[in-house]
Amino acid sequence: MTQNTKFNAAILIIGNEILSGRTQDTNTSTIAQWLNSIGVKVNEVRVIPDIENTIIETVNHLRKVNNYVFTTGGIGPTHDDITAQSISKAFNLEYEIHKEAFKILESYYKVGEFNEGRQKMVWMPRNANLILNPTSGAPGFYIENVFCLPGVPSILKSMLGGLKNKIVGGDPILSHTISLKTVESEIANSLTNVQDNNKDVEIGSYPFFHAGKLGVSIVIRSEDQLKIDKCSSEVLEFVNLKKIEVVVR
């Protein structure tokens, strides 16, 4: 991976359900693709359990070594939702009712429906900035460079758009994929040469087995389209020489 990207982030998935294997995390991919599109590279992902001290320590480490931290999970109404109170402790801030969030949920629900459970969702670190939720009302929040989003994938996805102007990024990270009907070992040496010629471009090689097709996808990533094009030509050059078939996936 090239290290010249100016803006980077860590993703912190909070939840026992991912660690037990019961639930498949899909939020990493959603957030990572969105960050790439606004020029922020993901350095690291961690999945941790719903344990307060673990959340506090991990957030306090990650926020120091990354431009941004995105957490998912643990901001709902139940006993296992402890992200907001843990983040308050991490920043040494009061955990209290957020007046704006209270107003939002009070008008979101019908009269009588804004019950005690739902009111838990307006407790946040003091002076938290809200992240609006067009899907189910309850906002996420951010403090400094730590952005706290819900765990439900469809809700999380709907909230990212509203964050765009809160994040300073660089040039979008572009990528080009060339899929080949071959095996990795046939192209390993040639691909190493291309990587050696283009040290500041990230070149990945990934075997695939999909819908009866077997092959290798070569993924070329950079912020510079010209560099991607140069690598592409070099790959296609050895592909032609070796008479390897390019496939559409």
* C-beta separation of 180 from 247 below 8 A: yes
Distance between CA 248 and CA 77 in Å, rounded?
A: 46
Give the residue with the Cβ less far from a copy of itself, 162 or 204.
204
By CB under 8 A, which span of 126-134, 140-148, 156-164, 186-194 interacts with a copy of itself? 186-194
Determine the size of the site formed for a copy of itself (CB under 8 A). Answer: 67
Q: Counting Cβ atoms within 10 Å, is residue 83 exposed (0-12), middle (13-18) or buried (19+)? A: buried
Residue 166, Cβ neighbours under 10 Å: how many?
11
Is there binding between residue 117 and a copy of itself (CB under 8 A)? yes
Is there binding between residue 53 and a copy of itself (CB under 8 A)? no
Where in 4-33 is the site for a copy of itself (CB under 8 A)? 13, 15-26, 28-33
Q: Side chain identity at 33, as an amino acid letter?
A: Q
* C-beta separation of 42 from 32 below 8 A: yes
Q: Which residues are bridge partners to 125 per DSSP? A: 95
* C-beta separation of 17 from 23 below 8 A: yes
Give the residue with the Cβ less far from a copy of itself, 154 or 240.
154
Least distance (Å) between residue 127 CB and a copy of itself: 25
Q: Binding residues for a copy of itself, per CB under 8 A?
A: 1, 3, 13, 15-26, 28-36, 41-51, 76-80, 115-118, 120, 152, 154, 173, 175, 184-189, 191-192, 195, 202-207, 209, 219, 221
